[in-house]
């Protein structure tokens, strides 16, 4: 199994990756405990892992697409370290497509790189204009119910087996779909570990899977709460509105105090335009146990929520 780490800038690629704990990556006090637990469990299950690849970019917001100069620096640092690079891309408007083109041109000139797509339009662009780049289906395209308010309850309850089986699967369950992806040159997909568990049997057909730890996405929007700060009240919360990357200044933690179930301590995190859940230790252990079956090709370690962006 390969190991990848999600980085924000070239300095992180050049930094010490022997123990990329929360302190070195500024995870913040709310998220540092789960990042530390994750790193500890990685050591427990896999020993001293070596990152052979870095994930760079953003899956959730086209305002967080890096500039060509930023990508060039990260690419150069990854080359120096002989690490592979995976460029993460978000869902995009037509303007976002235009922002991605120079990045793809640079990667294409540099040789074979991976590009994670979370938008059919991005895949279409890659296939038509950048055939040297290797497309990877992102986790937003991996359709499954990821509602941590209830999915853990479903898993623990006496729900009928067909319902739970269905909830642990995704669109990847259909060989017609994975065959379709293969026909498009997509032989790798990215996953979140779900509170209800993930059925990875789709990977038995040859599709490679990457799993992200310890954060999973819940929901995302073109309407960003954080971006609203600098607008007059009437003009706030417009889709795709220009911003000053206000999301980089803070994190908002929600506590599920109004649950009808027993999970009153459950937390959700909003960073910019996207909500995330954190893995519990039990979820991490479950995933790491599963990975021993050989069905996970790569683990992607996120030392903080995947919304960080380097100010130019």
User: b/e string for 285-298 if b means 16 or more Cβ within 10 A?
Assistant: eebbebbeeebbbb
Length of the chain: 312
Q: With CB under 8 A as the contact rule, which of the stretches 34-42, 45-53, 104-112, 139-147 interacts with other proteins? A: 139-147
- Give dist(CA 274, CA 219) in Å, integer: 6
Contact between 9 and other proteins per CB under 8 A: no
Size of the site for other proteins (CB under 8 A): 78
**Backbone Cα Rg of the chain:** 19
Among 14, 81, 236, 285, binds other proteins (CB under 8 A): 236
Q: With CB under 8 A as the contact rule, which of the stretches 35-43, 78-86, 104-112, 252-260 interacts with other proteins? A: 252-260
User: Minimum distance between the CB of residue 70 and other proteins, rounded to whole angstroms?
Assistant: 18
Among 2, 72, 147, 297, binds other proteins (CB under 8 A): 147
Of residues 185-204, those binding other proteins (CB under 8 A): none
Binding mask 11-50 for other proteins (x = CB under 8 A): ---------------x-xxx--------------------
77: CB partners within 8 A, 6+ apart: 10, 11, 13, 14
Among 40, 255, 282, 289, binds other proteins (CB under 8 A): 255
- Give dist(CA 275, CA 307) in Å, integer: 10
Instruction: Give φ, ψ of 218 to 5 degrees.
Output: -105, -50
Contact between 155 and other proteins per CB under 8 A: no
């Amino acid at each position: 199994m390969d190991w990848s780490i999600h980085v924000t800038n070239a300095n992180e690629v050049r930094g010490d990756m022997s123990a990329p704990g929360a302190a070195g990556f500024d995870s913040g006090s709310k998220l540092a405990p789960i990042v530390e637990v994750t790193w500890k469990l990685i050591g427990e299950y896999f020993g001293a892992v070596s990152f052979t690849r870095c994930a760079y970019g953003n899956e959730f917001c086209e305002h967080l697409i890096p500039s060509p100069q930023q990508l060039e620096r990260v690419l150069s640092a990854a080359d120096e370290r002989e690490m592979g690079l995976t460029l993460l891309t978000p869902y995009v408007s037509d303007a976002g497509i235009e922002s991605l083109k120079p990045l793809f041109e640079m990667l294409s000139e540099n040789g074979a790189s991976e590009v994670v797509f979370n938008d059919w339009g991005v895949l279409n662009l890659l296939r038509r204009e950048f055939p040297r780049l290797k497309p990877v289906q992102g986790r937003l395209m991996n359709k499954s119910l990821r509602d941590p308010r209830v999915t853990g309850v479903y898993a623990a309850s006496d729900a009928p087996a067909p319902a739970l089986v269905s909830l642990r699967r995704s669109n990847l369950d259909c060989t017609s779909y994975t065959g379709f992806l293969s026909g498009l040159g997509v032989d790798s997909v990215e996953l979140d570990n779900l509170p209800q568990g993930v059925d990875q049997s789709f990977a038995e057909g040859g599709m490679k899977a990457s799993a992200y730890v310890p954060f999973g996405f819940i929901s995302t929007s073109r309407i960003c709460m954080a971006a609203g700060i600098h607008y007059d009240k009437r003009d706030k919360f417009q889709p795709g509105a220009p911003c000053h990357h206000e999301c980089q200044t803070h994190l908002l933690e929600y506590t599920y105090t109004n649950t009808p179930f027993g999970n009153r301590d459950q937390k959700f995190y909003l960073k910019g335009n996207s909500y995330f859940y954190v893995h519990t230790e039990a979820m991490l252990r479950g995933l790491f146990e599963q990975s021993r079956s050989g069905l996970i090709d790569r683990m992607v370690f996120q030392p903080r929520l995947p919304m960080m962006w380097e100010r130019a």
